[in-house]
C-alpha cells in the first residue's frame, strides 16, 4: 500500500514510513493511494467478532508488508488489553433510533486512546526491528498528551516529551501526564497557553540539526496511523446495528477532523453510512464552511468542550483533497491562501462533493449544558461536554436511519462542566480512583526554545 501527500509534492511512502514521518515534507498530509474496498460479504462477516478481530480484518490491507499477520494480531491485542470494557467501543441506546458509542473506556478516558494505544505498539515494534530510538515531542491542551504518555510509557525505544500549558489543563488531565513513573515519560509544564506549546514544538521540528540529533517524531492527529485505528469503531458500531444490510449515520464531536475523517474512510471502504454529521461547539469553522462554503478563521473562543476549541481543522485538508479531485496543486493553493489571508472559498464542485457525505451543526455553550442536564434526567447517561455537543447536533438530524453519536470522553474528565449541569460531580472509574494520591513528576519551564531543548537533550542522554 502506497501513501501520497495531499499537496502532491512529497515522496510516496509505505505504511511504516508514513507512520514514522507524520507530516509530509511538502507540508501536506499522507493518504492511501487507493482505499481498499470491503465486499458486502466481508462486512457482514465482521458481525459478532471481537473488536480485536474486526480491527485486524479492517486494518490489514492498509498496512501492507510492514507487519506480519501474527505480529499485527499480537500488537492489536496488547493495544486494547488495558480497556475497561470488553466491547472496547460500547454501544448504548439513548432514544428511538438514536445510539451512543462510548469511546471512553481506554486508559485515559477519551477516544484518543483507541489510536494512541495502537500506534504505541506499532512504533515500538518497528523501532525494535530497526534498532532505532526516537524522541516523540507533542503539545497538548489535555487529551492528546495524556493519551500519548499512557501509550508510550515504558516502551524501550521511545522517549516521550509532552508540553502542556501550566495551570491550563484540568487536574485529571494534568495528573494523567505527571503521575506515570517510567523514566521515558517527561511532562513539561510551559509558562504560556496551548499556542505557546504548539509553537515550541513547531520550532523544534524546524530546527533540523536538533530534529536529526534527537530523531524527533510526532504523533499528533494528522498521523495517518491514528486515523486508520479510528476507522475500526465505525464498522463495529455499524455492523452492531445491522450494516451492511441497512445504512447507519454518525454524528461526531469534531475539532481537528481526525475522528470524523476516519468515518469517511469507513464509508469509502463500503460501510453504508448515509451521513456523517460534523458537530462543532461555538468554534464552528467547519459548520460555517459546510453551510456557506467559506472556510475562514475567527480566533479561538474557550468553551466547556475544550478539546474541540480549534482555529483550523488540520485533517480537513484530507477531505479537501478528494473534494478537489485529488489535485494536490489545488489543495496547496487553497492552503497557501488560508495561511496568507486567514481563509478561502471552497469551490462549488468541491462543496457539493463534501455535502454528499457530510452534514453539520453547532451547539452553543447553553445548548451543550442543557443537553447534559436533559440526557442525564431522561436516560441516566452522563455525557461529557464534547459528547453533549454531538447529541445536541444529532437530534436535529434524526431520521429513519439509525443515528450513532460518538461519546468522545468520560464525564469525569470534565467534572466542573458536568457538575454545573447535573448537580453531581462524576467520579472516576474504580480502576483509576487513586489518581489523586499518586505522586506527580513535572518540569516547569519558561517559554524558551533553548531551555526546552536542553532539558530534552539532558533527559535522553541520561
Ligand atoms: C480530540 C477530541 C475531540 C476532537 O476530535 P478530532 O479528531 O480532533 O476532531 C473531541 N472530543 C474529545 C473529548 C477529544 O479529546
**Residue-wise pLDDT tens digits, 354-396:** 999 999 999 999 999 999 999 999 999 999 999 999 999 999 9
Task: Sheet with 98-102: list strands edge to edge.
Answer: 90-95, 98-102, 403-407, 248-253, 273-280, 358-362
For residue 276, give the 3-state DSSP assignment: strand
The answer, yes or no, to whether any atom of ligand 1 lies below 6 A from the CB of 143, is yes
Instruction: Specify the pLDDT at position 127.
Output: 94
Instruction: Specify the pLDDT at position 218.
Output: 84
Q: How far apart are CA 385 and CA 289, in angstroms?
A: 23
Q: How far apart are CA 330 and CA 118, in angstroms?
A: 33
Instruction: Specify the pLDDT at position 379.
Output: 97
Tell me, in angstroms, the distance from the centre of ligand 1 to residue 258's CA. 8
Q: How far apart are CA 26 and CA 13, in angstroms?
A: 13
The answer, yes or no, to whether any atom of ligand 1 lies below 6 A from the CB of 307, is yes
Instruction: Specify the pLDDT at position 206.
Output: 81
Instruction: Specify the pLDDT at position 247.
Output: 98
Please give the radius of gyration of the chain, using alpha carbons only, rounded to the nearest integer: 21
Handedness of CA 46, 47, 50, 51 (dihedral sign): positive
Q: CA triplet 321, 325, 328: central angle to 5 degrees?
A: 50
The answer, yes or no, to whether any atom of ligand 1 lies below 6 A from the CB of 222, is no
Mean pLDDT of 325-335: 97
Average pLDDT, the chain: 95
- Whether residue 400 is predicted with pLDDT greater than 90 in this model: the reply is yes
The residue whose CB lies within 8 Å of the most ligand 1 atoms, and thus the one to mutate among 101, 106, 110, 198, is 110
Instruction: Specify the pLDDT at position 187.
Output: 97
Mean pLDDT of 55-65: 96
Tell me, in angstroms, the distance from the centre of ligand 1 to residue 334's CA. 24
pLDDT-based confidence at 151, cuts 50/70/90?
A: very high
The alpha-helical segments, DSSP class H, found in 217-284 are: 224-240, 258-269
- Whether residue 142 is predicted with pLDDT greater than 90 in this model: the reply is no
Tell me, in angstroms, the distance from the centre of ligand 1 to residue 344's CA. 24
Q: CA triplet 151, 154, 157: central angle to 5 degrees?
A: 90
Nearest to 119 by CA among 78, 156, 90: 78
Contact between 115 and 230 under an 8 Å Cβ cutoff? The reply is: yes
As a whole-number percent, the residues of the chain with pLDDT over 90 amount to 85
Taking the CA of residue 254 as reference, the ligand 1 atom at the shortest distance is: 9
Nearest to 111 by CA among 244, 308, 301: 308
For the annotated catalytic residues, the residue numbers are 112
The answer, yes or no, to whether any atom of ligand 1 lies below 6 A from the CB of 262, is no
The answer, yes or no, to whether any atom of ligand 1 lies below 6 A from the CB of 386, is yes
Tell me, in angstroms, the distance from the centre of ligand 1 to residue 461's CA. 34
User: Which residue has 444490510 as its cell numbers?
Assistant: 245
pLDDT in tens, 308-324: 988 888 899 999 999 99
The answer, yes or no, to whether any atom of ligand 1 lies below 6 A from the CB of 166, is no
Instruction: Specify the pLDDT at position 299.
Output: 85
Q: Does 244 sit behind a cis peptide bond, omega within 30 degrees of 0 on the bond before it? A: yes
Mean pLDDT of 40-66: 97
The answer, yes or no, to whether any atom of ligand 1 lies below 6 A from the CB of 258, is yes
Tell me, in angstroms, the distance from the centre of ligand 1 to residue 138's CA. 16
C-alpha cell at 150: 499512557
Contact between 131 and 139 under an 8 Å Cβ cutoff? The reply is: no
Mean pLDDT of 389-411: 98
The answer, yes or no, to whether any atom of ligand 1 lies below 6 A from the CB of 114, is no
Mean pLDDT of 250-255: 97
The residue whose CB lies within 8 Å of the most ligand 1 atoms, and thus the one to mutate among 307, 385, 390, 405, is 307
Taking the CA of residue 257 as reference, the ligand 1 atom at the shortest distance is: 9
pLDDT in tens, 161-180: 999 999 888 889 999 999 99
DSSP state of 172: H
The alpha-helical segments, DSSP class H, found in 101-165 are: 112-130, 143-152
- DSSP 3-state percent helix, strand, coil across the chain (nearest 5): 50, 15, 35
The residue whose CB lies within 8 Å of the most ligand 1 atoms, and thus the one to mutate among 229, 255, 261, is 255
Which of 48-52, 331-335, 432-436 has the weakest average pLDDT?
A: 432-436
For residue 454, give the 3-state DSSP assignment: helix
- Whether residue 198 is predicted with pLDDT greater than 80 in this model: the reply is yes
- Whether residue 61 is predicted with pLDDT greater than 80 in this model: the reply is yes
pLDDT in tens, 276-312: 999 999 999 999 999 999 999 988 899 999 999 888 8
If you write DSSP's letter for every residue of 33-96 in order, what string do you get? SSPPP--HHHHHTTTT--HHHHHHHHHHHHHGGGS-HHHHHHHHHHHHTT-SSTTSSEEEEEET
Q: How far apart are CA 353 and CA 335, in angstroms?
A: 18
- Whether residue 98 is predicted with pLDDT greater than 90 in this model: the reply is yes
**Which helix (H) or strand (E) segment is 419 a member of?**
helix 415-422
CATH architecture of 90-106+224-422: 3-Layer(aba) Sandwich (3.40)
Contact between 64 and 14 under an 8 Å Cβ cutoff? The reply is: yes
End-to-end CA distance of the chain: 39
pLDDT-based confidence at 221, cuts 50/70/90?
A: confident
25 compared with 301, residue with greater pLDDT: 301
pTM metric for this prediction: 0.95
Residue ranges of the domains in the chain? 90-106+224-422
Amino acid at each position: 500500500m502506497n501513501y501520497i501527500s495531499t499537496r502532491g509534492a512529497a515522496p510516496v511512502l509505505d505504511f511504516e514510513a508514513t507512520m514514522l514521518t507524520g507530516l509530509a515534507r511538502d507540508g501536506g498530509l499522507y493518504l492511501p493511494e487507493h482505499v481498499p474496498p470491503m465486499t458486502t460479504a466481508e462486512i457482514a462477516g465482521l458481525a459478532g467478532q471481537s473488536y480485536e478481530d474486526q480491527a485486524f480484518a479492517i486494518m490489514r490491507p492498509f498496512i501492507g508488508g510492514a507487519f506480519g499477520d501474527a505480529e499485527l494480531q499480537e500488537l492489536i491485542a496488547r493495544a486494547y488489553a488495558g480497556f475497561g470494557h470488553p466491547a472496547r467501543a460500547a454501544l448504548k441506546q439513548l432514544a428511538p433510533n438514536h445510539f451512543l458509542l462510548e469511546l471512553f473506556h481506554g486508559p485515559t478516558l477519551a477516544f484518543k486512546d483507541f489510536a494512541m494505544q495502537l500506534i504505541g505498539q506499532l512504533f515500538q515494534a518497528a523501532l525494535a526491528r530497526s534498532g532505532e530510538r526516537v524522541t516523540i515531542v507533542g503539545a497538548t491542551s489535555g487529551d492528546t498528551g495524556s493519551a500519548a504518555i499512557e501509550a508510550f510509557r515504558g516502551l524501550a525505544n521511545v522517549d516521550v516529551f509532552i508540553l502542556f500549558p501550566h495551570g491550563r489543563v484540568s487536574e485529571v488531565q494534568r495528573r494523567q501526564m505527571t503521575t506515570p513513573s517510567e523514566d521515558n515519560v517527561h511532562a513539561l509544564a510551559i509558562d504560556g497557553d496551548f499556542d505557546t506549546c504548539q509553537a515550541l514544538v513547531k520550532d523544534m521540528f524546524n530546527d533540523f540539526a536538533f530534529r536529526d540529533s534527537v530523531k524527533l517524531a510526532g504523533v499528533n492527529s494528522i498521523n495517518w496511523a491514528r486515523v486508520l485505528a479510528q476507522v475500526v469503531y465505525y464498522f463495529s458500531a455499524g455492523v452492531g446495528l445491522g450494516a451492511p444490510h441497512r445504512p447507519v449515520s454518525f454524528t461526531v464531536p469534531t475539532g481537528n477532523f481526525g475522528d470524523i475523517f476516519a468515518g469517511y474512510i469507513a464509508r469509502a471502504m463500503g460501510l453504508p453510512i448515509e451521513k456523517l454529521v460534523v458537530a462543532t461547539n461555538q468554534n464552528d469553522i467547519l459548520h460555517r464552511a459546510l453551510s456557506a462554503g467559506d472556510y475562514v478563521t475567527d480566533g479561538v473562543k474557550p468553551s466547556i468542550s475544550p478539546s474541540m476549541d480549534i482555529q483550523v481543522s488540520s485533517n480537513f485538508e484530507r477531505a479537501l483533497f478528494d473534494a478537489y479531485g485529488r489535485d494536490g496543486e489545488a489543495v496547496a493553493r487553497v492552503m497557501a491562501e488560508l495561511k496568507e489571508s486567514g481563509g478561502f472559498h471552497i469551490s462549488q464542485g468541491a462543496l457539493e462533493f463534501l455535502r454528499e457525505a457530510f452534514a453539520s451543526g453547532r451547539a452553543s455553550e447553553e445548548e451543550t449544558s442543557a443537553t447534559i442536564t436533559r440526557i442525564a434526567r431522561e436516560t441516566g447517561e452522563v455525557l461529557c461536554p464534547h459528547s453533549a455537543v454531538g447529541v445536541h447536533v444529532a437530534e436535529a438530524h434524526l431520521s429513519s436511519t439509525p443515528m450513532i453519536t460518538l461519546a468522545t470522553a468520560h464525564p469525569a474528565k470534565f467534572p466542573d462542566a458536568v457538575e454545573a449541569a447535573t448537580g453531581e460531580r462524576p467520579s472516576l472509574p474504580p480502576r483509576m480512583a487513586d489518581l489523586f494520591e499518586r505522586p506527580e513528576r513535572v518540569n516547569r519551564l519558561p517559554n524558551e526554545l533553548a531551555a526546552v531543548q536542553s532539558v530534552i537533550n539532558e533527559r535522553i542522554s541520561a
